Amino acid sequence: MTAKVYGIPNCGSVKKAIASLKDQNVDILFHDFKKHGVPAQLLDEWIATFGLDKVINRKGTTWRGLDEGMQGKADSPEGAKALLLEYPSIIKRPVVELNGVLSIGQTDFSEGNS
């Protein structure tokens, strides 16, 4: 079994999710937002699946560092997508695809939690 994990390698939540998946003997395919960018087509899917409020991490330092004008772009789907593509660090992490199921922000993949 293989999971596709999207995120940033030094993110604590991403590290926890990968460790949990490995504990379950799941192979990892990692997509680094910093090196490979955010796949725009997948971003559309994530937004459709979870909604903007769940995809945007409004608690992180990157979000808090944006001025009000930039944060205001997140009020519309088009503006939010552009903002997420420009600042991938504001995407809630990790995004995990496992067995055809998407999750966002989940770090525990032990039995009963996946």
- Positions marked catalytic: 11
CA distance 109 to 114: 5
Q: Are 43 and 73 in contact (CB under 8 A)?
A: no
Q: Which residue has the tokens 């991938």?
A: 88
SS (H, E, C) 41-94: HHHHHHHHHHCHHHHECCCCHHHHHCCHHHHHHHHCHHHHHHHHHHCHHHECCC
